[in-house]
Each structure stands twice: as C-alpha cells, then as structure tokens.
Chains A and B, each alone.
Chain A
Amino acid sequence: MSQVEKKAGLLRRTSSSKKPLKEKVVLMYDEIFAKEDPAKNNPRFWDELFLMKVNLEYLESKLESVDGEEVQRIQDNINSLFHHCVQALGEEHQIKVVNALQTLCALFRGVHQKNKSASGFDIINMLMGFDKAEQRMKDLMERLDSLLCGDGSESLKSLCLKLLLCLVTVTDNISQNTILEYVMINSIFEAILQILSDVSSRGQHGYDAVVLLALLVNYRKYESVNPYIVKLSIVDDEPTLDVSMLSLTGMGMVVHQALTEYNRQYKDKEEENQGGFFSTLTSMVGNMFIADADEKLSVQTNEAILLALYEAVHLNRNFITVLAQSHPEIDIAATPITPTPTTPTTPLGTTPPSLDMMNNPELPLDPNLQTSNLLITFLKYSSIVMQDTKDEHRLNSARLCLIILTCIAEDQYADAFLHDDNMNFRVNLHRMPMRHRKKAVDKNIPSRPLVCAVLDLMVEFIVTHMMKDFPMDLYLRCVQIIHKLLCYQKKCRIRLHYTWRELWSALINLLKFLLSNETTLLAKHNIFHLALLVVNLFNMFITYGDTFLPTSNSYDELYYEIVRMHQVFDNLYCMVLRVSTNTGQWKEAASKVTHALVNVRAIINHFNPKIESYAAVNHISQLSEEQVLEVVRSNYDTLTLKLQDGLDQFERYSEQPKEAAFFKELVRERGQNIVRSISLNVRKNVSLNTLSQDVLLKEFSTIS
C-alpha cells in the first residue's frame, strides 16, 4: 500500500492524479480523528502522512468541528499527530518537513478556532498533553531554530516563520496565548537575529522576522519578564565585521525598506491623483478593483513595522546609531540566488518591501536619489501618516510615530546627530494640501541638519490638526518633543539656524485655537496642561534664548512676535485667571499657567506702551517691523524678567505605566489584524505552498 502511495506521490505532479490523492490525505486525517491509533494498523502511517500533500482546510475544519467530548477522545491522536509533526521536522526529506510545518500551522489554528474561549492550558493539553508539552515545545522550537539557522531551502525558512507568526497571532490577545510561554523559554531570538543579519535571508524573510520579533517582544510585556525584551535591549550591534552582529542594522534595513516602500506607494498614488484626466480615469478604474482597503491595509501592516521600530528604538540604545546610518552599500554581499518562484506572496496581504530593493547591492548612483537613512525615511513616513488622523488606525500610527520621535529626542546620541551641522539632508516632508497654502515645492527645501526636519514636522502637525476632534495627546507629545530638542540645544549650546518664527507663530496659533474652543475642548481635555507646555516653550526662548538662538536678531524677533500677538496672551491670561479664581476641576492647572505667563506679560506690558509712544512721537500709525524691532532693541534694559524653575526639565518618556494601555491595545489589535490576514493568507497560500512543494520535490529528487 505504501508502495502505491509513494508512486502516487511521485506522480502527483500530473494534475489528473490530484483528486484521488487528496482523498487519500483526507482519509488519513479521518483516521486520526477516529478513536483508534492510526499507527496501529499501519505502522508507517505517520511516515506516509507527511508524504501527502496537506489539506489545510480539511484539517482545520475537522479540528473545529470536534466538540468537547470528542476532544477528550481523540486527544491522544492529536497529541500523536503533533508529536509526529515535530519529529518530521527533523526529517531529511524536505517534503515531509514542509508538510509537517503546514500541518502544525493547521493544528494551531484549528485548535484555537475551536476553543476560542478555552483556557490556554486546555489548548496545550489538547495539542501536546500537559505532561509532554514542555518537551514537545522544546523539540519544536529547537527544530525550528535549526531550520531557520540552517542552510536549508529558503522556502522552508519562510514556512517556519509563517508557522511562528501563525502561532504568535493565533489568539486575539497575544498575551493570552499560553503556548507562547514555551516560545519564551525556548528562545528563537538568535535565529531571528541571524536571519536579519544575513543579507539574502533578510531580503526574503526580513519582514516576517521583524514582525515576529515585534510581536514576541510584546508578549506579556508588563506582566512578566520577557526574554525577548531583555535580549533585544542588549544586542550590542556595533556592527563589527562579524556578520552575526549585523542584525540590528539588518533590522533597521528591513524597517527602512518597508517604510520606503510605503512612502513610494503613497507618492505614486499622490502623483496619480494629481495627474491629468487620463490618470484620474485610470486610477478610478484601478480603484474599482483594488479598492480602498488596500491603502488602509498597508497602513496597518506598517504599524507592525512601526511597532518593531519603536521596540528597537525604545529598548536598544544601540539601535539609535542605526537610525542615522545610511547604508549605501551594506548589502554588497552576495546577492541571493535568484529568488525562487516560491517567494511567498506577501504574508500579510500587502506588498512587503520589494526584494530587488532589499538586495540591491549598491545604492544607485542616481543623482536624483538622495542619500537617505532610516530616520529620514521615518520622518517622511510620519509626515504622511500624520496627515490624516481621523482614522483610528492612522491615529494610532501617528501616535506611535510621535512616541518614537519622543524616544529619539530624548536620546543624547540621536540628538547629537540630529543637530550635527555637518550632516545635512533635504527631507521632503509631505504636507497636507490646504486651501490657504500652496504645496511646497520640493526642490526648494534646503539641505539642513535633521533636527530642522523634525521641527518642521512638529510645526506642520501643530498647524494642521487644530480641529474639533482635537488630538490632545498627540499635541502634548508634539510640544514635548520640541521641548526636549530645545533642552538639548540649550545644554549643548547649539545654535541652530532655524526659522524659529514659524514655530512661534504656530504655537501662538495653537493657543489661539485653544482659547476659541475652550468650552468644547475643556469637556474632553485638560487644555491647561497643553497651554502650560506651550507657554513654557516661550519661556525657554525668553530666558535661555542667549544659549541657543542663532543670531541676536532672533531674540528681538521673539519679542516682536510676542508683542505682535499680545492679544492671544492677554486672552489666555484672562481665561486662566478666570478659571483659577473659580473653584473647579482646572483651578490648579490654570493657576500654573498664570504663573508661567509672568514673563510674557511683563514683556507685553513693557514694550506695548513703548511702541505706542514711539508711534505717537513719530506720528506713525502703522509701525513697520523694523521700527518695532528698533523699539524693542532700545528698551531691553529696563525690563526685568523672572527666572522660572524647571524650564529645562522634562519628564522622561517611560512606557510604563502611561503608555501601557496603548501598547496593549495596539498589540491586541495588531494580533487581530495579523491573525485575520494570516489566516486569510495561509489559506490563500495553499496553492503557493503546493508550488513550493513542487520545488522541494524537485530538489529532493535530484538529491536522492
């Protein structure tokens, strides 16, 4: 019988033979789900099973259909199936390995599907049996580890990663996935790193690996010690010549490529939209097929990448160096053997970074192509994401972006290269098209230190998000980022040649917005906190301007701007005074703002009369800017300011406890999405898997 089967297996490539074979597999599945030990009658049952092409759908549905009692009955067989799957992973025959991997995938999914509410232990029991679970999982992880690190076929590795992703995302809430406890104990962190450090494998599996890592890091992040967090945080990636150490850089590359790809897609789309009638037409037609979901999906998946980026930036300080690395030639090493046709289509339903880009041995010497680095790409990406925060996903993405930027702004090394006068880049931030302004012409963006781009981005955000549905926390983060950068500049005496005026007017406009929407906003937010931060930014400039302003003129301009917009400050003062004198929820917050306004008011009260009298004396109704500046310059000496405390102090970012909820939610959501898309895709990929099987078959036949 086995002879026949083998023959059939070999003949399987002819499509005609497909059907009976399928049935054979199904038959065998049925045997498993019978009470009896399938191996009883046929000692070679398991051997043969893994020679059969897997019928995922059948297996999964079978698992799902099993109800409580049956489970008990067939548990031994399922345990046995799981065991043999793990065993098969060690087989020489790659077909068996492939089939085992797919079977495992189906097992995990099927069991979870069935037992959505069941506790993790039940699931473990059902799959492996309590007593053997530890050993089984250890074996499984070891096998996977060796498959991932071995020289085996790339499609095998890809399948392994897919299995892991499947396992990780099988529950809605990653932290409820008890099986992952074993993944914690039997770490595959090194295998992931190795994939990331190797050029060719990074090209093919980097995306999966990074997503997997990000998810694993988020497993019970706050409840227990997650070894992946520990390990990720201590990877010392000083990229020595040792290839295995290049993993952080590799991770940076993967993120970089993913973000770049997103940016490119966005730009293409944008250009398409801007194109003439014809292109609009085509895009319309195209949209009919592609549908909007595409765009959203891409944002979602990039959230996973963004999460990975966050974890790397947040956990590993060495990753900061990777941010600034532009790697024109890091991938110079051997281009992988032509990506086999088995290259999985995107695992998550969107285009992963295109392979050719990943493997491009050298940065093209295209003069139009700017040297880029991860940080630049990230800034561009952020500028896109921040444009539209109405969507929940996008809002989360924007939040994540700002959190990452907060981490970056806090980091001394990152600040150092952000402010490095010698590292000038043109960063084309995407600006939301608005009625009252023209779209900035890209070409005119000067080449400046990166921090200018960050500030621009912040200014852009401030200006463009004053809406009813006020994203308060984003604004807070935004202002805090600016504050952190200013603190760095003050401490390091860096005189950045930046047009601070734009920032000032943006901030003043923000205050204005807060004032005019006081009632609506106060219902939901503590606007006084934000106002305090903004006013303190001004205080920074006023009291410490001498340490970081680029020219003495800029200090005059600051005063000019304050005096010019004095009404806003006056109104703000009135408002906070009013709130703080009333007893109420905001009393204290408002009174803080009143104190903070001391210097601004002093300036206004000092210079306004002077300017008025100047106008009166000179009989000028409308003073020019130059004239006002002149008045300002000549009247400094009579103005006394009060030194305020703690202006250059800021609260350091810490994920716990403030952000924990956000990340939990994010991961949960992420998990869901990924589960959805993964199950979707694995199903989709059945045909693909067949393909890879064929390839493997070929490989196999030539070897033996």
Chain B
Amino acid sequence: MRYKLSLRPITNKISYRELRSYEIRLFTHQAQKLAANVETFRLVQRLDLSGPSVRCLLTNSSGFILLQPDERGEPNRARPQTGPDGLLLRNWIRTRTRTRTRTRTRTRIKDLHPPRTLPGGNPHRTAAVGTLQREKAPRYAVPPLPPLLPPLPLVLRAPLTAPYHHHHHHHHHHHPQLQLPRPPPLSEQPSSPVLEPPQQQPQRQHRQHRQHWQQQRSSSASEGIGSSGTSSGGDPRGPSPPLDVISEDAMEMDLGVDQVIDPEVALKACQEVLLKVQLQNREVPEQQQLDNKQQQRQHYTDLTEGSGPQWHISPDTSSIKEEDEEEEEEGSSGKDGQKQSSVSQQDPRPSARQESSLLPLASSSSSSSSKQSWLLRLFESKLFDVSMAISYLYKSKEPGVQAYIGNRLFSFPDSDVDFYLPQLLQHVCAHGHRGGRRHQTVPGESSRHLDTWLLGAYSSDMHISTQRHSRGTKLRKLILSDDLKPSAPPSEAPRAASVSDSPVSSPLHRRCHRRHNSTNMEPTASPAPDNSVPGEVEVFVSPSRRTHQRSKSDATTTVSSGPGSGLRRTGSNPKVEAVHEEPERLRPQREFVKSLLAIGKRLATLPTKEQKTQRLISELSLLNHKLPARVWLPTAEHQHHVCRIPHTQAVVLNSKDKAPYIIYVEVLECVSFETSPVPVRIPETRIRSARSAENLDCGGVTAANANSGMTSEHRAGSFSTVPNYDNDDEAWATDDIGQLQVEAEAQTSSSDNISQFSVDSITSLESKEPVFIAAGDIRRRLSENLAHTPTSFRRDPEDPSAVALKEPWEEKVRRIREASPYGHLLNWKLLSVIVKCGDDLRQELLAYQVLRQLQSIWQQERVPLWIKPYKILVMSSDSGMIEPVLNAVSLHQVRKQSQLSLLDYFLQEHGSFTTEAFLTAQRNFVQSCAGYSLICYLLQVKDRHNGNILLDSEGHIIHIDFGFILSSSPRNLGFETSAFKLTSEFVDVMGGLDGDMFVYYKMLMLQGLIAARKHMEKVLQIVEIMQQGSHLPCFHGSSTIRGLKERFHMSLTEEQLQMLVEQLVDGSMRSITTKLYDSFQYVTNGIM
C-alpha cells in the first residue's frame, strides 16, 4: 500500500462532508514537523477510513495536505523493509513541486519527520508536539547531515535533518519532566519497531542508557539516512528519531472524532499559503503551476520515482526554517544542562502579561518566533499549571498551541485536570475542531463516566447548533461505548479510558499499558496480522483496528521481527474482550442513576411532602433489591460499590414544586469499582434464621421417614445461605431480642444501672434478695437521657428533612451501620447524595468551580476564610446530583424549629458566650460568613433567603443553591440589591457592630478580596470558558464577564479596597431589600 500526499487547498476537492465522514485523527507530530518545515502545516490529522487505508490530513491555517493511500502504489510494496521513514514519506507524500524539489524535499521530509504513524502503524502513538515543537525543531539543526541532503535552493536543507536528532535529544532531557510517571523504556518506543529493524537495539539500549543515546542515535540516524538514500532512493531508514521524541513526550494529538475544519478558516488559510508561497518561493510560476496541477497530482502516483521521492513538498518555507532554527537554538540551549528549563523555572511566573502578549502572536508564527519560544518555555516550565493550560487552550486560536496543551494536560495530576472537565467539555462542544485534543483528554482524564452526563447536559444546551450538538452527543456516545474499559492492570483500570474511534489511544490509556508492559522487560514485535511484513502491517492496519491494535502496538516497542511476539497479551487481549463488554460496563451505573432520577420525577407529581417521602421510601426499597451492584456514587472520593440504600432514611427536601431528595447510601469501598468483585448480597434479615428449625425440631417427631433426609438437607442449604447463623439449637434459644439487649447494654455505658439489674435479676431468680430502686432515680435518668440526646428537631410533616438533616452525621452513620446487614464489614461507609430533578445544575457546577478556585486561592494566600464548595454532578440539563453538606440545617429550619433568634440558637447549641465551644462556633461563623459574603458579592449570588443558607453544627454558615448568579436573579423583582446578605441577626452572632469579631469579619473580607484579586484570572477563566455558547441564565446579557471583572476592582489600592469593603458591609447591613426579600419569601413560600 502506498500513500501519496496531496497538498491542496481545502476547498478544492474534498468537501467538508467528505472530511467529516472520515474519522479524523490526529496524526503524528512528525508529520506536523513536516508541515512545520514546509512552514504552514501545523496540524496533522489523519482521516481514518474504515479499511486499512489511511488518510492523513495535515492542516494549518492555510490548507491541508491529504495523505491518502495510493491505489497505484503496489509496486512499492516491496520497499517497506528499506526503511520506515522513506517508505512512509514516499508513500504518503506527494508534493506540489514535484518537478524540482522532489529529491530534496523528500529527503528532508523523511529525515525530519519520519511519520510515526507509519512505523507504529498505530497512530495513537504518535505524539504531536504542536506548533511549539515545530518551531523549536529547526533550531536543533546542527548535527551531521545525512547524505541525502535536500538539494533545494531553500536554505536549510542540509542541516535540517540533523536538528531533529538534536531536537529529539533535547526532548529526551526535557520532556520527561512533563510526563507523569511513565516507564521510560516503553515510552520511548512509540514507533513500531518493525520499521526500523536495524535501529532496534540501539534504541532499546538507549532507553536504558540515555547517555549513549545521543551518539548512537545520531550515528544510526545518519546511517539510516545514508542507507536509505542509497538503497531505495526515497527510503532513508533513519532511526526515525522523531519517533522517540514523540514517544517520550507521550504527546499525542488526537484530533478526535468528529472535528470539522472550518471551511472559512481553511479557505483563508489556503490563500495565505499561496501567498506565502508566492512571496517566499522564488519559483513562483512553478508554484502556480503546481497549484493548478494539484488535483491531478493527487491521483498521480509517481511510479517512475522508484527510488526517488514520491512526495514533493513545496519548498516554500525557507525563511521560516531560519526562524525555526533560531528558536531551536534557544530551545536547545536548555537541552544539556537544562539550563533553559531552569531559567524558565526561575522566572517566577511567565506572568499574565507575557501570556497575553504571546497569545495573539502565537498564531502568526512567522513573526513571533522569539516570543513563541518564550511561550514554549512557559509551557514547559514547572509553573505552568492546569489553570494556565486551560486558559491558553481557551484563548489560543492556534491549533498547535492547542494541540500542545491538549497533550500537556496529560502531564498534570488527574485530579487537577478533572477540575476543569466542565470547561474542557464545554470547549469540545463549542469548538469541535479544536476540541479534538480534549476529546482525547476527556475520557482519559475523567476516570468516571461523569463526564458523560455532563456532556449530555452541555450538548443538550447546544441545541442551537446542531453541528455542535451532534459533536457532543457523538463524543458522549463514544465515551459511553468505549470509555472505562477494563484494562489489564487493575490499578489502572479506571483510568484506562480511551476513545475507540480515534486510532490514537489516549495517553493515559497508553500510559497504563506501558506501565504494565514495562514489567515485561522486553517488549517485542507485535505479530503482524496477515502475511505482510510486520512493520508494514503495523503501519497500515492500525487505523482500522482500534483499541485492540493500539494496545498491541503499545505493548510492542521496537520491532524485533524475531520471536516473542506473544508478549502483547497484556495489552491486547483484555482489550479484545473489553471491546465487546464495554457497552455493558456502564449500564448498571446508568440504570442506577436513571432510576434515581426517575424516582425524582415521579415524586414531583405527588402533592404533599409526606406522600413524597412515603413514595420515595417504597421506591427505594425496590431499588434496594437490585443492590449491591457495580454502581457507585460519582460524588464520592473513594472507589466503592453501592451495597444498600437504607431506604427508610431517605427524605424529601424542601422545594416548592420539585422533589429533590436526599438518600443515604451504604457503600463498600474497594480497590476499583471496575474490577473488584461486587459484594455479595446479604439479606436484610441476616440475623434471622429460618424458623423451620424450630418447627422441624418440635414437629419432626416422626422424622424417621423418608422425608427427614430431605429435610436436613434443605435445612443445611438454607443455613448456608444465612450468614452468621449458628446452627446450634442453643443459639436459637438466644433470640434476636436477647442479642439486641446485649448489644444495647454494651452501648449504653454504666450509667444505666437498671438494665444491668434486669440482666442480673433474670439470671438470679433463685436468690430472692429484693433489689430496691428509687423512683427518683428512674425519673432523673429519664430526663438526663433526654437531655443528653442532642437537640433534635420535631418531626414536621411539612418539612421531613429537618429531622433527618439535624441528626449528627456520626450518629446517623452509627445507627445505620447497626441496622445494616453490611455494617459489620470493615470497608463499609455511608455516603449521601441529593438527587435533584427538574433543575439545571450546570450553574451550580460553575459556582462550585468558582468556589473551589477561590477556596484554593485563599488557602494559598493563607486567608482563613471558610467556604464549603459542594460537589455537583450534572446528569442532564435538568437533573443531577449534589453532595450534601453534612451536619447542616437551613436557617429557615433553625428558626422554625427552635423559634429562637440565631444568637440564642448559637447559645443553645454551643453554650454560653464565654465557653470555648461558643467562641469556636462564633469564629467559624465569622470566617464562613466573610467567605460567603465575598462569594455572594463576586458572583452576585441571589435568592438568598434563609432556606438557602445552611448552618452547620460547628457554626459555619454555608450558602447553597446557586441558581441565580452573575447576571440572573429571581424574577428580577429588584429585591436583593445589596452586595450580599448580612442581617442584623448575623451581626448579633458576631458580637454586634462594635465587637471584635465584626471587625475581624471585615478584615477577613478585605484580605479575601485582595487575595482573590491577585488571582482573578484563575477565577475569570473558569467563568469565561463556560460562557461560550452557553445559554445558562447566569450569562444573560453581554456584560457578565466584564461585570465580574469589575467586581475584583483591580484598579483600587488596598486602602480603597478597604473602603469598599466597609461600604459593602454597611450597605448590606442596612439593606432594606434583604429584609424585604426575607419577608417576601415568608409570605410566598413560608420560609422564615
């Protein structure tokens, strides 16, 4: 199979539709470099046809190169052995300037960019470094130039190949830092070994001995080039250094499934290319000619080339090359001593200034080389964090940058990246063509399927643009169908998600495989399917076979065309199964969540809370029958299986017309919810044994008959199914209640003499010694017992949740654990979750992110503000799950139940003014109050009635329900004009207007504001990205972001800020509208 490369403007021949119909995948970064050298092509995509044929698409702003199988390429079949690079390029590329530059170009290309895909045959391995690398590359251009120098007039032919080696080299030192722990040996062998038999060994050694790497590398490279040049003309067999680079970087650019290149952009880009070509290339006429011939060429296979190059790349990029070289020098300076990187590290922060200045320039690569290098350095510096990455991702229009960042994301801790998942998804949905990287990122990073739900929500939001919508749904489908496949190493399992459609496996996926394989010291050649030479096959097959193939090639690094081909078992075999299993994997979970949501929807139809709760309980009891199952609560931190829902504990929350409810869920923690065995069901009545025992023992008098045998058999059977059953008649005698009693004794400490007595008295019936007790004692004990139980709320049919929420969490856990048949298990845990239907939680999610961000900012800046972001899980545009705030009841419930002022309630709960407990609670209150005041101000959180403010058992207040933030407010009644809610009750708790704590409160706010201001970008970016294409009410109007920005008051001095805080506090306190709103809520909704 041969490939030809055709370069032509996007608009030309291939329709968009056609493009879309392919699975576009990210191609290699070699190809990208190739493109880089040709100047314009930054992005390489591969169109994957269903068959073994491969199409690659190199795109950039100016057009694309289509690499496609050449049907007429049969004659070249014999060549593969000659060298991967040569083969690759020869087969794939067909330049425009075929006449003149053929040879040179070819050489250059092959040296520079041995398309990794070819060797590996597994496009997923290909790591695209993106623009940055491309730009960097030329700088390395020093090393010995192989014999086949591009004779082109273009300046840099000769040096070019070499630079790459250096480049790779450089990367060797460089990139590992970026990587997450990954076994080096395997990671370096992205390219399928098949293609470079001679190099194999050196390479492997290199993997272990970096020091030698360079020398061997270069020598082998030159060797390869030489040989290729001589032997097959167009097929240099360079060791394909880029491959190594790539692999090391583990940067894969996966352009995702359904990306579409914007036609306009493409067209424009195309024109640009032409323009550039005209300017830079002195052979203008020829160029034109080429253009004209393009189409022709596309189908044209240069059979005559034979050993000659089959590809022709326009020699238009000389000047760029030079630039690149410069860049490369800069970049390479760091290669040895890591000077460079250390420099960039020292540079405290590449700073927003730099960023911003760089960003716009990034796209115009030709003019901003130096800056770009800065950008690169920034990207590679240690300070480059997820937040920055995300913001670049968002701002940069440069595919390369995006690609780079997309890959770079994989080097960050998963948890960090997970945080930005909504942003990433939003981005994917909003910008499909750019989102490709993320597409890959998403499944990779999000170990759970929660992104699926999220995506569902977001894509449903995109209804306006069907294109986007389909993109979202498609991605979702992908994730659903293929995500979360079990991978061989159990520990990695949850992470081993990949997108099936893209031949490029997600790095994580790969990573895990590598890790696994690294234990098998010697990776071996993947057995070539079919009868062709391994290397070749590897090259071509991969696109059509997905994960299976992929993992296979992962497992195999270098080609030892020799034996040991069986080693890939780890990678491939499990996969094969997985492919079939996958749709099943998530089903239980999806069903589980679906039924929870369905319950919520049904509940909404019932009129009273009481009925809702009853219905809820009975529904859950049914659900319980299906547990334990391989389901989990996505909001939880630890891996677990849900084993039971103590249905009677579930309760409906206060809501006017919806029916959100809270459920408690018993889970058993496990290593991995994917692979750990699902716990065995234990019947509710585990303590109970079959009563038949009793019956049979007395009834079976005539047990001598034939039935007795059966009987005992059955009994045995039944008992074995009942755990904890003591098959002893003695045990039967001690009945349940007796056991209970003992348990109860154990719990209630010695204070309970009476019970002790009773136990004694039972045993000592003979001794007629009368025991006397004082009635006063009984009475006292009663009142003491009652007093000691923590203040609980009265049961109120209109507010069933008050009691449930008021019960201390530990108490609840203990109680439920006792009642649970699973309670005795060590890994038993109780979780809770609020299921909400009928509300769009995406805004909540946004608020959660902002809160989290602010929380970490304040932590970082050591401002003791206290806030409690609660996790949100968006299921769809109108449903989701919320992590409940434990031990907290709403102010409304406090007031209604206790009939006390807030301060009195504090006194009641925590003790008098001077007690430690009260002071602690008061401090907690102030710190949380300050935190939430700021948040309410910054986010313009509205609808702050007392039902939406919780008070926890430690005195913190917690705001919930961020349904009205930023630009939206409830019904726009004009209430709540104040910056935040600060009632006189609050102030009373803080000790009054003159109290120290109130001063402390204001001080905290000031500090918090200053800290937040310092990191404003981080906050803004979250909101900003979510805004694009969003129809959330909080983005209503155009000035949302601007308004938000303004509230940070960047321009004010600290003194002014202090003034501002004073003003805000003052204004809020005096605000009539707050009071009005409260009374409005009282009147309309009965919220006190």
Chain A residues contacting B765 (CB-CB under 8 Å) are: 645-646
A373 to B621, CA, bound (A): 12
Stretch at the interface among A97-105, A378-386, A539-547, A617-625: A539-547
Closest chain A residue to B738 by CB distance? A491
Does A223 make an interface contact (CB < 8 A)?
Answer: yes
Closest chain A residue to B650 by CB distance? A422
Binary A-proximity of B684-723 (CB < 8 A = 1, otherwise 0): 1101111110111011111101111011001101100110
What's the minimum C-beta distance from B33 to chain A, rounded to whole angstroms? 56
Interface size on B, residues (CB 8 A): 87
Most buried by A among B615, B735, B775: B775
Are B602 and A546 neighbours in the complex by a CB distance under 8 Å? no
Does A552 make an interface contact (CB < 8 A)?
Answer: yes
Does A133 make an interface contact (CB < 8 A)?
Answer: no
Chain A residues contacting B688 (CB-CB under 8 Å) are: 317-318, 320, 411-413
Partner of B776, one of A320, A424, A636, A642: A636
Chain A residues contacting B619 (CB-CB under 8 Å) are: 328-329
Does B762 make an interface contact (CB < 8 A)?
Answer: yes
- In the complex, chain A residues 132-168 whose Cβ is within 8 Å of any chain B Cβ: none
Closest chain A residue to B617 by CB distance? A423
Are B694 and A654 neighbours in the complex by a CB distance under 8 Å? yes
Chain A residues contacting B625 (CB-CB under 8 Å) are: 238-241
A224 to B711, CA, bound (A): 11
Known: A411-B688, A424-B614. A416 touches B819 (CB 8 A): yes
Are A327 and B618 neighbours in the complex by a CB distance under 8 Å? yes
Are A649 and B762 neighbours in the complex by a CB distance under 8 Å? yes
Are A640 and B772 neighbours in the complex by a CB distance under 8 Å? yes
Are A420 and B754 neighbours in the complex by a CB distance under 8 Å? no
Known: A230-B715, A545-B782, A643-B770. A317 touches B761 (CB 8 A): no
Are B698 and A318 neighbours in the complex by a CB distance under 8 Å? no
Does B606 make an interface contact (CB < 8 A)?
Answer: yes
Are B707 and A329 neighbours in the complex by a CB distance under 8 Å? no
Does B860 make an interface contact (CB < 8 A)?
Answer: no
Are B648 and A420 neighbours in the complex by a CB distance under 8 Å? yes
Are B710 and A227 neighbours in the complex by a CB distance under 8 Å? yes
Partner of A642, one of B705, B754, B770, B797: B770
Partner of A421, one of B607, B610, B795: B795
Are A640 and B692 neighbours in the complex by a CB distance under 8 Å? no
Partner of A230, one of B687, B692, B748: B692
Partner of B761, one of A225, A370, A603, A645: A645
B interface secondary structure, majority? helix
Does B15 make an interface contact (CB < 8 A)?
Answer: no
- In the complex, chain A residues 543-563 whose Cβ is within 8 Å of any chain B Cβ: 543-547, 549, 551-552, 555-556
Does B14 make an interface contact (CB < 8 A)?
Answer: no
What's the minimum C-beta distance from B805 to chain A, rounded to whole angstroms? 12
Known: A224-B702, A412-B688, A555-B778. A543 touches B773 (CB 8 A): yes
Known: A327-B618, A491-B744, A642-B772. A238 touches B778 (CB 8 A): no
Chain A residues contacting B687 (CB-CB under 8 Å) are: 412-413
Closest chain B residue to A643 by CB distance? B771
Are A223 and B602 neighbours in the complex by a CB distance under 8 Å? no
A23 to B915, CA, bound (A): 103
- In the complex, chain B residues 732-784 whose Cβ is within 8 Å of any chain A Cβ: 735-737, 740-741, 744, 748, 752, 754-755, 757-758, 761-762, 765, 770-776, 778-783
Does B519 make an interface contact (CB < 8 A)?
Answer: no
Are A225 and B708 neighbours in the complex by a CB distance under 8 Å? yes
Chain A residues contacting B701 (CB-CB under 8 Å) are: 223
Chain A residues contacting B775 (CB-CB under 8 Å) are: 542, 603, 636-637, 639-641
What's the minimum C-beta distance from B260 to chain A, rounded to whole angstroms? 43
**Total A-B residue contacts, Cβ distance less than 8 Å:** 243
Are B754 and A546 neighbours in the complex by a CB distance under 8 Å? yes
A547 to B748, CA, bound (A): 11
Known: A330-B622, A493-B748, A555-B782. A234 touches B717 (CB 8 A): yes
Chain B residues contacting A704 (CB-CB under 8 Å) are: none
Closest chain A residue to B615 by CB distance? A371
Binary B-proximity of A228-252 (CB < 8 A = 1, otherwise 0): 0111111010111100000000000
Are B696 and A326 neighbours in the complex by a CB distance under 8 Å? no
A169 to B785, CA, bound (A): 58
Are B778 and A365 neighbours in the complex by a CB distance under 8 Å? no
Most buried by B among A416, A422, A495, A633: A422
Closest chain B residue to A655 by CB distance? B695
A447 to B648, CA, bound (A): 14
A413 to B685, CA, bound (A): 7
Does B804 make an interface contact (CB < 8 A)?
Answer: yes
Are B685 and A318 neighbours in the complex by a CB distance under 8 Å? yes
Binary B-proximity of A475-494 (CB < 8 A = 1, otherwise 0): 00000000000011001110
A246 to B603, CA, bound (A): 25
Does B973 make an interface contact (CB < 8 A)?
Answer: no
Chain B residues contacting A543 (CB-CB under 8 Å) are: 754, 773, 778
Are A423 and B737 neighbours in the complex by a CB distance under 8 Å? no
Does A184 make an interface contact (CB < 8 A)?
Answer: yes
Chain B residues contacting A417 (CB-CB under 8 Å) are: 648
Are B711 and A227 neighbours in the complex by a CB distance under 8 Å? yes
Does A585 make an interface contact (CB < 8 A)?
Answer: no
Chain B residues contacting A701 (CB-CB under 8 Å) are: none
Does A127 make an interface contact (CB < 8 A)?
Answer: no
Partner of B699, one of A227, A229, A234: A229
Binary A-proximity of B483-502 (CB < 8 A = 1, otherwise 0): 00000000000000000000
Does A533 make an interface contact (CB < 8 A)?
Answer: no
A604 to B581, CA, bound (A): 76
Partner of A222, one of B699, B715, B735: B699
What's the minimum C-beta distance from A373 to chain B, rounded to whole angstroms? 7
Are B685 and A328 neighbours in the complex by a CB distance under 8 Å? no
Does B209 make an interface contact (CB < 8 A)?
Answer: no
Most buried by A among B649, B752, B785: B785
Does A647 make an interface contact (CB < 8 A)?
Answer: yes
What's the minimum C-beta distance from A243 to chain B, rounded to whole angstroms? 12
Does B605 make an interface contact (CB < 8 A)?
Answer: yes
A229 to B651, CA, bound (A): 39
What's the minimum C-beta distance from B790 to chain A, rounded to whole angstroms? 14
Known: A327-B618, A546-B754, A652-B735. A233 touches B782 (CB 8 A): no
Does A367 make an interface contact (CB < 8 A)?
Answer: yes
Does B731 make an interface contact (CB < 8 A)?
Answer: no
What's the minimum C-beta distance from A388 to chain B, rounded to whole angstroms? 31
What's the minimum C-beta distance from B830 to chain A, rounded to whole angstroms? 15
Chain B residues contacting A636 (CB-CB under 8 Å) are: 774-776, 779-780
Are B692 and A315 neighbours in the complex by a CB distance under 8 Å? yes
Chain A residues contacting B626 (CB-CB under 8 Å) are: 240-241
A658 to B714, CA, bound (A): 27
Partner of A425, one of B602, B614, B621, B744: B614
Does B683 make an interface contact (CB < 8 A)?
Answer: yes
Known: A240-B681, A411-B688. A547 touches B754 (CB 8 A): yes
Chain A residues contacting B698 (CB-CB under 8 Å) are: 654, 656
Are B707 and A487 neighbours in the complex by a CB distance under 8 Å? no
Does A456 make an interface contact (CB < 8 A)?
Answer: no
Chain B residues contacting A637 (CB-CB under 8 Å) are: 774-776
Are A371 and B611 neighbours in the complex by a CB distance under 8 Å? yes
Does B1083 make an interface contact (CB < 8 A)?
Answer: no
Are A373 and B684 neighbours in the complex by a CB distance under 8 Å? no
Chain A residues contacting B684 (CB-CB under 8 Å) are: 238, 321, 413
Are B779 and A555 neighbours in the complex by a CB distance under 8 Å? yes
A640 to B776, CA, bound (A): 8
Known: A367-B607, A544-B754, A645-B761. A317 touches B685 (CB 8 A): yes
A-B contact pairs, 25 of them (CB 8 A): A224-B707, A234-B717, A238-B683, A238-B684, A315-B691, A325-B622, A365-B606, A412-B737, A413-B684, A421-B795, A424-B797, A425-B614, A447-B610, A491-B737, A491-B744, A543-B754, A544-B755, A555-B778, A639-B774, A640-B775, A643-B770, A645-B765, A646-B761, A646-B765, A652-B735
Given contacts A231-B714, A233-B718, A326-B621, list 10 more A-B pairs with CB under 8 A. Answer: A223-B701, A224-B705, A317-B691, A371-B614, A373-B618, A447-B610, A491-B741, A636-B775, A643-B757, A643-B771
